[in-house]
Structure 1
Amino acid sequence: MNVPKNIQRKPQILITGAAGATAQRVIERLRETCDLVAVDARIQVPLGDDIPSYCIDFNHRSFEDLFRRYQFDGVIHLGRIRSSQLTRLRRYNANVLGTQKLLDLSHKYGIQRIVVLSTFHVYGAMAYNPALIDESAPMKSAGLSADLIDSVELENLANLYLWRFPELNITILRPCNIVGPSVQNTMGRLLASHRAPVLAGFSPMMQFMHIDDMADAIVLAYNKPVRGIFNVASDDWVAYQRALELSGCTRIPVPSIPPVLPRLILRTLRLQSFPAYLMEFFKYPVVIDGQAFAKEFGFQPKRPLKEIFRFYRDNKRPL
């Protein structure tokens, strides 16, 4: 049967990190208008008969088979492994070497659009950070722990390909804290807890993005092929201790020095802790300027901070 010429093929998109909450929401937004293929290096995610789903290590030869089998028009790379997952070596292989393999295959097979999800953590948290950080600020890899270096290297790779291969149309997104339903990162778990630690004498300003707004931002970015690096954040922020209060958390002050002491105290109190590699982010503000992204892509978050914190306040698990 001949397909009528006026019927166009749906765009076919490879989405990595399919097991993540953000990827799940991006998939729901695109499944009606695009042909999607989902991949995750950790587990295979059932997404229904209309979306092929695979569990594949990006460094494995079978990953290239997907590029041969499907005619991908674009890639949405959400597969960055967080520092709380896997060992450091396996995380480096997935985040850095895996991303390099993905970008190499994208260039080899003529991909025309790539969105890469990075993180605001690449700026580093330091006492002398500017009050509002824009995209021209350096990534302070020298001030980051070893657990965050692979995030910087992942973005450095994407940045290299962005300028070396302009035909890939790469957009790199650096979002602030992503929180909300089903989010299992450090900040999400802290806001969801009944009792949360604070470092005595510190309450840095922080930004929060609802996961649904972040999914909207990723879809907007994919649909408008503008190359470059963009912060993604609202123009509102709040002190960390105030965020806990609004989320219904009891704040437990712990001393910040010596560095090992907070971990010992939190373990003794059986409290959700902030991991060592993020300790400085609970001392010093890292407030990013999201105006460039908002202007270029027409992005405006729909969920205000009060809605975000109300969700955590109203959905505490029984003690």
Structure 2
Amino acid sequence: MTARVVLVTGVSRFLGAATAKALAEDESIERVIGVDVSAPHSELTGHTRAEFVRADIRSPLIAKVVDSASVDTVVHTDINASPSASGGRASMKEANVMGTMRLLAACQHAERVRRLIVKSASAVYGSSGRDPAMFTEQMQPRTLAGGYGRDAQDVEGYVRSFMRRRPDVVVTMLRFANFIGPQIDSVLAPYFMLKAVPMIAGYDPRLQLLHERDAVDALVACVARTDGAAAGVFNVAAPDVMLLSQAILRAGRVPLPVVGPAATAVSRLVRALGFADFTSEHIQFLRYGRAMDTTLARERLAYRPVYSTVGAFDDYLNGRGITSTMPLRVLRAALRGDR
């Protein structure tokens, strides 16, 4: 069934707003409704075909929105990775998990809903020294995930329960790699703005990124796919990786090695300065990194990101106007050794 009325959650942030905007520009879709408790992101503001409804998906009233608008497709992006932006870890968990539960309950009782696309994250795999070179969708994490990763695991669990109750709905869960780009408020975005970028001494983790526009394209592409091949869980990321040290050099920043026991104290300091939102799970990520195999998305969804990890990172640097803090001769010498 072709999507006619699409509801997009989380439009106060870039990903949801840009997705709603892109869908509204598709004339085959009759109506696009963006939902959030806050005003829509500037990406969506002023768009003539996208409607905004101020509603909290944690409220039972979301069921009335879904039902009264005859929604047939739901794109759920309202899952946040930033505790500070959510008012603390407890509020973040409530918004992520309880909000998803309420939304799924609304979808379960809405007979017209036939398509559900849910934003998940590579954080479900955690980060550890025992991780495989590439996680496939069938692999289990080698360590217990915390924070946002745990929220994403819980969300996926509730979505799987929904799939059993509504087998007639085509459900897609996208495990996105870390976002980067000129506009999106990702955890890594402010990290490389620091004059001296902390690294865990003795570790140089692999980074696998996804450009903000590629993330939007993936969600929009899934709305158009209504066949059974689109059902399931898919890793979505650029196919390549780069080392953290390489990223720091490309940003023209100075690496600041810190010993393991001091890492937590450094993360508190960084948060206190307002530059980044790093928790213990992010410290683990900076120690071990993470990479995913994206073969399944390429074969079953026919999806390929436009940007590589390096290309996405460079666009982020250019779009944010990040300039080198290193002397030019030092940076050039360092990059000549960065192959």
Deviation per CA, 1:226-270, whole angstroms, max 9, x where unpaired? 210010112211111211211222222122215533336657988
Match of 1:39 among 28, 35, 41: 35
Q: Does 1:116 align with 2:121?
A: no
Tell me which of 296, 301, 325 is aligned to 1:292: 296
Q: Distance in 2 between matches of 1:64 and 1:211?
A: 30
Q: Tell whether the 8 Å contact from 1:205 to 1:240 is kept in structure 2 after alignment.
A: yes
Q: What root-mean-square deviation, in Å, do the aligned CA atoms of Structure 1 and Structure 2 show?
A: 2.5
SS in 1 for 2:49: coil
Partner of 1:6: none
How far apart are the structure 2 equivalents of 1:57 and 1:99?
A: 11
Change (3 A) 1:285 1:310: closer
Specify the alignment match of 1:197 in structure 2: 198
CA contact (8 A) 2:25 2:49 kept: no
Greater mean deviation of Cα atoms: 220-229 or 35-44: 35-44
Q: Specify the alignment match of 1:169 in structure 2.
A: 170
Report the CA distance between 1:185 and its aligned residue. 1.5
Q: Residue 76 of structure 1 aligns to a residue in which SS?
A: strand
Aligned to 1:128: 130
Alignment equivalent of 2:287, drawn from 283, 289, 293: 283
Judged with a 3 Å threshold, the aligned counterparts in structure 2 of structure 1 residues 265 and 113 are, in CA distance, closer, same or farther, namely: closer
Moved more, 290-299 or 55-64: 55-64
Q: Given that residues 254 and 265 in structure 1 are in contact (C-alpha distance below 8 angstroms), is that contact kept between their aligned partners in structure 2?
A: no
Structure 1 SS opposite 2:315: helix
> Unpaired segments of 5 or more residues in structure 1?
1-8
Question: How has the CA–CA distance of structure 1 residues 18 and 32 changed in structure 2, closer, same or farther, with 3 Å as cutoff?
Answer: same
Greater shift, 165-174 or 55-64, is seen at: 55-64
Q: Structure 2: where are the runs of 5+ without partners?
A: 326-339
Structure 1 residue 273 displacement after superposition: 6.3
Paired with 1:312 and 1:49, the residues of 2 have a C-alpha distance of: 28
Relative to the length of structure 2, the TM-score reads 0.83
> After superposition, what is the alpha-carbon deviation per residue over 1:72-103, rounded to whole angstroms, capped at 9, x for unaligned?
11000000022423233322222112111111
Equivalent in the alignment of 1:256: 260
Query: Which residue in 2 is equivalent to 1:3?
Result: none
* Structure 2 residue 316 is matched with structure 1 residue 316: no
Report matched runs for 1:1-319 at 5 Å: 11-33=4-26, 34=29, 35-44=31-40, 46-84=45-83, 85-86=85-86, 87-110=88-111, 111-139=113-141, 143-146=144-147, 148-225=149-226, 226-263=230-267, 266=270, 272=276, 274-314=278-318, 315-316=320-321
Task: Provide the C-alpha distance between the structure 1 equivalents of 2:57 and 2:276, rounded to a whole number of angstroms.
Answer: 32
Fraction of identical pairs, as percent: 22
Q: Give the distance between the partners of 1:148 and 1:133, measured in 2 at CA.
A: 15
> TM (normalized to structure 1)?
0.88
Shift of residue 49, structure 1, vs aligned partner: 4.2
Tell whether the 8 Å contact from 1:247 to 1:312 is kept in structure 2 after alignment: no
> Match of 1:187, SS?
coil
Runs of 4+ more than 4 Å apart:
264-273
Counterpart secondary structure, 1:257: helix
